[in-house]
Structure 1
């Protein structure tokens, strides 16, 4: 029995060599095949230097379990999700570590119709079987064939826009040398064919597993300058930057300002509710007030979920929600089998910019003024649970409203905080927001107080 530490709450992430290697990848593929017995699955991988080898090891495990495999090649996670609900297959695996450091890799696993596999929905079973190595010998091995999903994927993406309604726009596209480039190119070709008046300005476009411009993770402040500078230099209407497997996209306004994912959740929720009132919108508990305010104004129904893609997707399916959004820039769509996509949000944003004839900065200006937030602040601490308890004890005498949907949320009326342990990294994540009309205190004061408390 080998303990595998790469299994997390809703996917697989591990340090290369020790926590994840080709032998472990083989076992994961073998266990996936034995537990779910799919006839056929899709598999893809991101651009990391180890991803192709890990993918091939996973394929060998799947084949030895009797599973036929469609190898999609180098893909983003959402291309695997798309294949899993669009093609006649019974599951999918993407080999990716998303935004983790260079010495990590991982996997995201789904079942038929791109249903997520998380700790509460099968991932622990795969872990247990992979650890035990009690694999059944199959009389017939599965086969593997290459499959190009890109044309069908792009056709699907085009259903989210009406080409005739799009006005001339100039967009900066920063793939971060990750996996997004080939989809951007295919969309650009499609736009040209349809005479859509949108110009693409592409930076850090070529896939490169050495990540010469840093790990593609635009949530880090130090990674935003390239996109911001390009927006200003080209006088673009919007900037878009992706993480490595492009299931998250981050938007910059025409002034080159990074827009927190929290406010993009509000913007997209509003866009859906303008088309259909009374729809359910799923949100995470880290930052909530702006989302709740918009849902109240536009007759939406709020559903709160634990953070993380498998939890959000399950909640969306349960409530048939049209849209779900996390402040971490994961956006989920009912028409995309409740999966997250980093391509659909910016396409919808071009629709909003075109239909409203407003700039992105003006569309989110009131949200930011009414509900300022800290953005997510990450801390390396020795013991995340002890630190969370310390924060709770520190504020206990103020008797805040307590919500433990995910970590600890404390609501003081004029401001609130959420603190939680990361599911994928050894980090403590802090988010703070306030009501500007009730709170003369600057956001930085809260940030300083919590920072001092956490680091003391």
Structure 2
């Protein structure tokens, strides 16, 4: 029995040929079906050149179990989430490696109502069955494959979040990075314009292309950010929007072409929902918190902290009936989107909020950034992550007025705070720092902490 190294904590990612190929995809499909015992499974795939063949192999495994497959074609991860719930399927699988290098692919799997399947909720069981090829005999009558275009229902649902008659005229630069976002954006643009939205779209790298001629779409890479930034300035646009390969993450630029850290978008989206539904619960992660909590409480909502990671946030949102959950990593989750993450809803909600408040993105976010400055997440490679964490804790614990360990170590002081977390997969520590309206203190404490971590 060979170990399958493509299984992670939340999904499947592997190098093509060695860690993930058609045979392994087939076995994963058989094991997924044996674990879930579904009648119907939705499948979709991103633009990577191997996605169609891996999707077909996975689907064959599901059909050989005896379940039917609905193939929704080229799409984003959120379209599989939407279709699984909307079509009342028993499970779904998106073939994607998101922003991984070109020689990778992977899978994200869900059960009914698009509830996540992660290590603790079945992924380990699926891995063991796939490794042992222990999924029982093939069904006497295999399942069937149906191809369905579910995009109209998806687009209709997205635009239901927006008050279209009250949108102000805007020019939007969009950068799909040659990933899966382009076709979905085209359909969304058509629906918005047909409904009378006064929007102009200027599209960069919109054509899907699995050879990724402009690099793997990952807007967090500093070399990719200037492309969107420059297009915003050249076209005097109101906002820039870019996505990663499977568009489950969305990144924004203001009208001056400045990239906006994901932390401040969480506050914006929290406000967007609380304007519409006062008193709602908002879930947020512990890395950076002050801005989010101030906005949520200031708008009459309830802020609920939760450990980072999509499985934890989705579970917490269901438990609390939270309307929205946001992570500074640019993952945004929505109760009325099956509690799943979407890369299309964030920018739609932001243009809706800007229209309601008759303001610009720069003025809305600029104040938040001044109130709670942060350098963003900084990674440090260390020889011993636990030892480094202890060293930092011992240096600061006496001065701290509060600490929590919901996710790594968070220490809070009168006018600044930090969060330190270990990576799950490498000897790396991730640092986040924020202050109350004091950029100099932010710089000072960040350098102080980095020196201690890296000594």
Output the TM-score relative to the length of structure 1: 0.95
Deviation at 1:83, TM superposition (A): 0.3
Deviates more, 1:12-21 or 1:379-388: 379-388
Partner residue of 2:446?
447
Evaluate the alpha carbon distance shift between residue 373 and residue 356 of structure 1 in structure 2; reply closer, same or farther with a 3 A threshold. same
Question: Contact 1:283 / 1:303 at 8 angstroms: preserved in 2?
Answer: yes
Task: Work out the CA distance in 2 between the residues paired with 1:354 and 1:32.
Answer: 45
Evaluate the alpha carbon distance shift between residue 391 and residue 50 of structure 1 in structure 2; reply closer, same or farther with a 3 A threshold. farther
Aligned length: 454
Deviation at 1:453, TM superposition (A): 3.3
Evaluate the alpha carbon distance shift between residue 185 and residue 95 of structure 1 in structure 2; reply closer, same or farther with a 3 A threshold. same
Alignment of 1:76-155 (within 5 A): 76-137=76-137, 138-155=139-156
Alignment of 1:282-293 (within 5 A): 282-293=283-294
Task: Work out the CA distance in 2 between the residues paired with 1:120 and 1:78.
Answer: 22
Task: Work out the CA distance in 2 between the residues paired with 1:93 and 1:425.
Answer: 27
Deviates more, 1:376-385 or 1:338-347: 376-385
Deviation at 1:20, TM superposition (A): 2.5
The superposition leaves residues 348-389 of structure 1 with CA deviations (integer Å, 9 ceiling, x where unpaired) of: 111111111100011112211111111122334455444434
Task: Work out the CA distance in 1 between the residues paired with 2:40 and 2:114.
Answer: 13
Superposition RMSD in Å = 1.9
The superposition leaves residues 221-258 of structure 1 with CA deviations (integer Å, 9 ceiling, x where unpaired) of: 22210111100000000010101100110111111111
Partner residue of 1:349?
350
SS of corresponding position for 2:313: helix
Deviation at 1:306, TM superposition (A): 1.4
1:11 to 2:11 alignment = yes
Task: Work out the CA distance in 2 between the residues paired with 1:15 and 1:380.
Answer: 23
The superposition leaves residues 392-449 of structure 1 with CA deviations (integer Å, 9 ceiling, x where unpaired) of: 344345456332222222223322222223456775432211122xx57442333323
SS of corresponding position for 1:189: helix
Task: Work out the CA distance in 2 between the residues paired with 1:385 and 1:282.
Answer: 28
The superposition leaves residues 90-146 of structure 1 with CA deviations (integer Å, 9 ceiling, x where unpaired) of: 111111111222232221111111111112222122122222221111222122121
Task: Work out the CA distance in 2 between the residues paired with 1:26 and 1:427.
Answer: 34
Task: Work out the CA distance in 2 between the residues paired with 1:48 and 1:384.
Answer: 35
Task: Work out the CA distance in 2 between the residues paired with 1:383 and 1:108.
Answer: 31
Partner residue of 1:46?
46
Task: Work out the CA distance in 2 between the residues paired with 1:219 and 1:418.
Answer: 20
Task: Work out the CA distance in 1 between the residues paired with 2:234 and 2:176.
Answer: 18
Task: Work out the CA distance in 1 between the residues paired with 2:58 and 2:13.
Answer: 15
Task: Work out the CA distance in 1 between the residues paired with 2:20 and 2:380.
Answer: 25
SS of corresponding position for 1:69: strand
| Structure 1 runs not aligned, ≥5 long | none
